[in-house]
Structure formats: C-alpha cells, structure tokens
A and B are shown apart, each in its own frame.
Chain A
Amino acid sequence: MELVAIEILNGIVLGVIYALVAAGLTLIFGMLDIPNFAHGSFYALGAYVAYTAMTHANFPLALVAAPLAVGTLGLIVDALFIRRLARAGHTYQILFTLGIVLIVQEAIVLIWGADPTSVDVPAALSGGIALGPISFPYYRLFLVAVAAVLIAAVWLGLERTKLGAIIRAGIEDSEMVEAIGYDIQRLFTLVFALGVALAAIAGALILPIRGGQPAMGNELNAISFVVVVIGGLGSYAGAVVGGILVGLVQSLMTLILPSASEVAIFAAMVLVLLLRPQGLFGTR
C-alpha cells in the first residue's frame, strides 16, 4: 500500500512536469497552430541553463534564468524564422523545428558535454515531510506547487485578462484584431515565447531529480505528443489532465511491470486514439 502511495505521489510529480510541457505545447501548437517539433529541445535547454545557474549561483536564480533565457531564444527563433515559414505551410515549419532539434542537441554536447549532469536538491528544500508511514521530499512538494501555480496563472492570464482576450480573438480572426489596432503577430510571438518558457522551467524543475542529458528533449517531445493526443489537440485542460494521467500511468507501471512503463503510455495513446480520436477533452 505504501509503495502504491509513493508511486502515486511520484506520478503526480512527473505528471505536473508533463502537464507544464504539454501546456506550453498547447499554446504554441493548439492555439497558434505552429507545429513545434523542437518543444522538447527547449525543455532540455531549460534544464541545462538551470544547471549552469545552480552550479555558479543558486536555485532561485536558476528558476528565473531558465525560462527567461530560453524564452528569449524562442522569441528570436519565432520572429526570425518560424513566422516566415508560415506561408510555406506546416510541413516546412515542422522540418525547420526538426533542424532546431539537431542544433540544440549538439550544442548541448558542445557546451556542457555528452555525459549526464546532476545537481543536488537545494539545501533549503532538502529533507521530507512525513505522510503517515511514508516520507515525501520537500523538493517534490515544492515542484508540484510551483507547477500548479504556473499552470493556473497561464490559464487565468488567457481566460481572464484583457491581453488574453485579445490573443484569443486574434486566433479567431487576426485581421479583425489588427484592424482595431493591435500588432497581433508580435503578440503571437510572445505567446510562442511563453510556451517555450513553460517547457524550460519544467526542465529546470526536474533537473535536481533526474539530472540532465543531451537527448532528454526527445523523450519529452514524444511524451508531450502523447499527452496532447490523449488530452485533445488545442485543449489546455486536456494538456494538464492528460499530462498528470500519463505521469501516473508511467509511475504506477513501475510497480506492475517496470520494463513496460514507457510502452504503457503509448498503449494508452493508441487506446484513446481508437476509442475517442478527438482526445478526452477535444471537441472536434
């Protein structure tokens, strides 16, 4: 029983990370309609930027530096290249982001080395809280709290603020929004950067638990696609619920058949695809 409880908690930790990454992908892909196949690469970059910040400075700085640096990079990439490719169609946007995957992965090897990196959990968050017979690390609690706050904040920002309303209107009818005086393309680029920053901060948060390795982005890329398929393309709630679901399945599978935990989430995706092709929260 205790083992199950531990794996459920671990599953939630993993799940909120997936949810953060998938929420970012939903902003970019579901809302802006940009098929970003380099999303996992931005997650990996976030982890490595955080690694440098933590080894040279401290953890709070890492949590700020990772999304800021990677978000800025996303801003540049979108403004300079991806937006230009919009007319050429999805295929070329996908292919361009694939090029980014190659560049980022090798750049990580070049800058930080090919070997896996690891950092200690920040001292202030070491130790754990006793939950009955089990102990849950403070850091993981902190991670879940930060992720939950971010996910909620982005959602509130989109649904409840004027800026969010303008962006949503721009997605429906960009000419209309431009006609009333907003530079919608610039706003879209900001949304792109925000989506990328969410992936980066997820990378920074997971670093003390899982460490970093150059190919870590590919794994997250595949998982965030699975999450989006399960949750429903374009649904923010679907991305969050799907992410937590996938984290839980993956985590609980380690109790039943550890070797099949990755296979299980893809099997879950196929199941959803066959039974409900539009995803759990999808409408189309």
Chain B
Amino acid sequence: MNVARPGAFLVLVALVAVAPLVVHYPVLLTQALIFGLLAAAFNLLLGELGFLSFGQATFNGLGAYAAGLLLVHVAHVPILVALLVAALCGAGGALVVGALSMQGAGVYAVMLTFAFNELAFYLAFQLRDLTGGDNGLRGVVRPEFIGISLAGENAYYYFVAAVFLVVFYALLRLIDSPFGHVLRAIRENEPRARAIGYDTRRFKVTAFTISGAVSGIAGAAYAMLYGFVPLEVVNFDTSTNIVIMGLLGGTGSPYGAIVGAAIFTLLSDRLSRLWAHWPLLLGILFCTVVLTLRGGVIEIVHRLRPSTPRRKAPLRSG
C-alpha cells in the first residue's frame, strides 16, 4: 500500500507551497496546517490503531502551555527548542494518560481519555498564576528561525508549513514501518495480535505517546501564531473539533486528516460569518458522515477511482 509513495506527498508539498498565493489569508492557512497536525495525530490512533481518543486537546494544551511559558519567561529561546519542549510535554502527558486510560478496555478507555481531558481543563483553569486561567497566557513571543524573522504572517506560515511537512512525512513513514503494520494488526484483532506474540499494550501506549508529541507541536505552533494561549486549547470543544476533522476527512488514509482540517477551517471561517449558529449545521453534517460515509470525504475520491488501493476505515472498537 506504501502511503509514503512520493507522488501524493509531492502534490501535498506543492499545494502547501502555493496556498498563500490563492488564499490571501496566511493566518487562516497557518491555522489549517496546525489543525492538520492535530487531525493527523488523531487519525494515527483511530485510522491505524483503531483507538478513538476523545482527549487530544489535552496534549495540544500541554504543548501550547509548555512552549508559551517558555517563551514568556525565558529570553532568547530558539524556536526549535520551543517546539521540542512542546513535543516532549505532549508526549509525556500522553504516555501517562495513555497508560492509565488503557487500563480499561474498549469504550471504557475512550471515556477515560475524555475524563482526563476534563481534568487537564480544570487544572489549566485553576492554575491561573501559571496559565492565566480563562484570561489566557499572554505575551508569547515568536522567535526568529536561524536569523530569519518570522514576524510576518507569510514568513510564519512557511515556517509552520515546513514543520508540518516534516512531521507529516515522518507519520507517513511510521505508517509504512514495521511498527505501523503492528498497529493495524491490533486494530483488526487485538487478541490475535497478542496470540502471535505482540505486547499490544506497549504498542498502543507508544502510538498514543507519538500522537501526543505531534499534538504538542501543534499546540506550540498555535501559541506562537496568536502570541497567546487561550484556555480553549485544552477544552472539550477542541477535542471535539479534532474528532470532527479526522472523521470528516476520513480515517482510511493519512491524507484524510488534512482534507478534514482544510474543510473544517474553511467552513468554520465562512459559515461562522454567515450564520452564528453554524455548529448546528456542522453537527448535522457530522452525523450524516457517521451514518452514510464512514470513510469520510476522501472516501469519495477513492470511490471515483476504484483502482486506488483502499484501506478500510476501522469498523470495530472494544
């Protein structure tokens, strides 16, 4: 199946490169890329491992606050260090949450990811000396990158684009790697994967940790985009939005996450201006996708091109 085949990825690189020439709104595009990272991290879990995580905002929030606090309180932090710290914090949080959540099986584990997300939210809300609570964490600076100023919105877009492409490429490699193959075996049949000798819990927690690292990077990029960290980075609505993006695009392909993030970002920007109650439409759209188009929007592409090797969306969990 070789998802890391260069063709599709090069098309993505080209699209990301020319996007600002078509849509003259670099902040929105940067946000779409950040959402793309979050959705890709989510899809690694749902699409490959078959695990529905309802707490992805936890790790997004950890990354955003970690990078934010570093950049607020410490002078001259290199931007890559900020991203690295965010990735490590996201990964660390995901390791703990993943290990504890997977104490439960099936739906129980899903509930736990959600409950831990609520815990993270209340912590961020109450630790206002650290996080600013519901006022948000203000004064996050955007460092330069090897002497290049990223103060301009286009410059920052291209920086985030580079980070996005590197991370996404790494995820594609991972999906094709021996590790990725084991994840799909677990998705299809966890008891059998154990019976042929895999320590499935270790694989699941590792995948969860990687997903947390990617979400942490996204959180840091978000903090630097707006220069502040709102409490929303860690709330339930953000986790919900990540689930929606992943599902809208489709979990059968890693590219689905990007399609979903792009659609979601554009819709929420356009529709929210037309009608304040657009989440109602989003909810209806989402339910429709769940009922009728389980492969997400990218499934349409595959249906039009039946020759494309198709990877099925997971149908079971728990």
A binds B: yes
Residues on A lying within 8 angstroms of B by beta carbon are 29, 35, 37, 81, 84-85, 88-92, 94-96, 98-103, 105-107, 109-110, 218, 221-222, 225-226, 228-229, 233, 259-260, 262-263, 266-267, 269-270, 273-274, 277
State which of A89, A110, A274 has its C-beta within 8 Å of the C-beta of B316.
A89
How close is A111's CB to chain B, nearest CB, in angstroms? 10
In the A-B complex, the 6 residue pairs with the smallest Cβ-Cβ separation, listed nearest first, are A102-B283, A99-B287, A103-B283, A266-B119, A222-B118, A106-B280
Residues of A within 8 A of B282 (CB): 102
Residues of B within 8 A of A35 (CB): 107, 110-111
How close is A141's CB to chain B, nearest CB, in angstroms? 30
* B283–A91 CB distance below 8 A: no
* B243 is an interface residue with CB less than 8 A from chain A: yes
Which of B18-26, B98-106, B145-153, B299-307 makes up part of the contact surface? B98-106
Question: Which residue of chain A has the shortest Cβ distance to B279 in the bound complex?
Answer: A106
A90–B50 alpha-carbon span in the complex (Å):
11
Q: A94-B107, A103-B284 are in contact. Are A263 and B122 (CB under 8 A)?
A: yes
**Chain B contacts with A in 270-302, Cβ cutoff 8 A:** 277, 279-280, 282-284, 286-287, 290-291, 294
A54–B107 alpha-carbon span in the complex (Å):
37
State which of A81, A89, A267 has its C-beta within 8 Å of the C-beta of B315.
A89
* B92 is an interface residue with CB less than 8 A from chain A: no
* B114 is an interface residue with CB less than 8 A from chain A: yes
A226–B116 alpha-carbon span in the complex (Å):
10
* B66 is an interface residue with CB less than 8 A from chain A: no
A267–B100 alpha-carbon span in the complex (Å):
12
State which of A81, A233, A262, A274 has its C-beta within 8 Å of the C-beta of B122.
A262
* B123 is an interface residue with CB less than 8 A from chain A: yes
How close is A2's CB to chain B, nearest CB, in angstroms? 27
Q: A35-B110, A110-B277 are in contact. Are A94 and B52 (CB under 8 A)?
A: yes
* B172 is an interface residue with CB less than 8 A from chain A: no
How close is B124's CB to chain A, nearest CB, in angstroms? 10
Q: A89-B316, A91-B52, A262-B122 are in contact. Are A103 and B116 (CB under 8 A)?
A: no
Residues of B within 8 A of A274 (CB): 100, 103
Most chain A beta carbons < 10 A, residue from B54, B119, B314: B119
* B179 is an interface residue with CB less than 8 A from chain A: no
A218–B283 alpha-carbon span in the complex (Å):
15
Beyond A91-B52, A103-B280, A266-B122, 14 extra complex contacts between A and B, CB < 8 Å: A35-B107, A35-B110, A95-B290, A96-B291, A98-B286, A102-B282, A103-B287, A106-B279, A221-B114, A229-B108, A229-B111, A266-B119, A269-B115, A274-B100
Residues on B lying within 8 angstroms of A by beta carbon are 46, 50, 52, 54, 100, 103-104, 106-108, 110-112, 114-116, 118-119, 122-123, 126, 236, 240, 243-244, 247, 277, 279-280, 282-284, 286-287, 290-291, 294, 314-318
* B112–A90 CB distance below 8 A: no
How close is A139's CB to chain B, nearest CB, in angstroms? 28
* A222–B112 CB distance below 8 A: no
Residues of B within 8 A of A105 (CB): 279
Residues of B within 8 A of A228 (CB): 111
Q: A229-B115, A233-B108 are in contact. Are A90 and B287 (CB under 8 A)?
A: no
* A218–B291 CB distance below 8 A: no
Question: Which residue of chain B has the shortest Cβ distance to A35 in the bound complex?
Answer: B107
How close is A128's CB to chain B, nearest CB, in angstroms? 31
A76–B291 alpha-carbon span in the complex (Å):
15
Residues of A within 8 A of B122 (CB): 262-263, 266
* B287–A96 CB distance below 8 A: yes
17 contacts between A and B (CB under 8 A): A35-B107, A91-B46, A91-B50, A91-B315, A91-B318, A92-B294, A96-B287, A98-B240, A101-B283, A102-B280, A103-B283, A106-B279, A263-B126, A266-B119, A273-B104, A274-B100, A274-B103
Q: A110-B280, A266-B118 are in contact. Are A91 and B314 (CB under 8 A)?
A: yes
Residues of B within 8 A of A29 (CB): 107
State which of A85, A90, A99 has its C-beta within 8 Å of the C-beta of B318.
A90
Question: Which residue of chain A has the shortest Cβ distance to B282 in the bound complex?
Answer: A102
Residues of B within 8 A of A95 (CB): 52, 243, 247, 286, 290
How close is A273's CB to chain B, nearest CB, in angstroms? 6
A138–B103 alpha-carbon span in the complex (Å):
43
Q: A94-B107, A94-B110, A273-B112 are in contact. Are A88 and B315 (CB under 8 A)?
A: yes
